[in-house]
Structure 1
Amino acid sequence: MDYEKIADEVSKKIYSYSQDTTGWKKLKTSRDVLVSWKSSNDYLGSMKQVCLFLSSNPRYRGEGIVEETPERIIPFLYLPEYRSKWDKALESYSIVEQVNKDTFISQSLTHSYGMGLISPREFIDLIHVKRYDGGVITTNSISVECAKCPPSTSYVRGYNNPCGYICSPLPENPAHCKFVVFIQPELGGLLPRSVVESALPNNVVGLVNDVRIGLKKYLP
Structure 2
Amino acid sequence: MEDLSDAAAFATRLKNTLIQYHSIEDDKWRVAKKTKDVTIWRKPSEEFNGYLFKAQGIVDDVVNSVINHIRPGPCRVDWDSLMTSLDILEQFEENCCVMRYTTAGQLWNIISPREFVDFSYTVGYKEGLLSCGISLDWNENRPEFVRGFNYPCGWFCVPLKDNPNQSLLTGYIQTDLRGMVPQSAVDTAMASTLISFYDDLRKTLQKA
Q: CA deviation at 1:208?
A: 1.4
| Aligned positions, number | 203
- Counterpart secondary structure, 1:188: coil
Q: Distance in 2 between matches of 1:189 and 1:183?
A: 18
Gaps of 5+ in 2: none
- Counterpart secondary structure, 2:142: coil
Match of residue 113 from structure 1: 106
**Contact preservation (8 Å) 2:155, 2:170:** yes
What is the TM-score normalised by the length of structure 1? Answer: 0.87
Q: CA deviation at 1:213?
A: 1.1
Instruction: Choose which of 199, 202, 205 in structure 2 pairs with 1:212.
Output: 202
Structure 1 segments, 4+ long, off by >6 Å, are none
Matches within 5 A, 1:97-176: 97-133=90-126, 135-146=127-138, 150-176=140-166
Match of residue 81 from structure 2: 88
CA RMSD of aligned residues (A): 1.4
Given the superposition, is the C-alpha separation of residues 4 and 192 from structure 1 closer, same or farther in structure 2, using an over 3 Å criterion? same
Query: Does the alignment pair 1:32 with 2:37?
Result: yes
Query: Does the alignment pair 1:13 with 2:5?
Result: no
- Counterpart secondary structure, 2:195: helix
Q: Distance in 1 between matches of 2:24 and 2:104?
A: 32
**Contact preservation (8 Å) 2:157, 2:169:** yes
Q: Distance in 2 between matches of 1:172 and 1:180?
A: 18
Matches within 5 A, 1:177-188: 177-188=167-178
**Contact preservation (8 Å) 1:167, 1:177:** yes
Give the letter for the 1:6 counterpart.
Answer: F
Gaps of 5+ in 1: 49-56
Q: CA deviation at 1:102?
A: 1.4
Q: CA deviation at 1:34?
A: 0.1
What is the TM-score normalised by the length of structure 2? Answer: 0.92
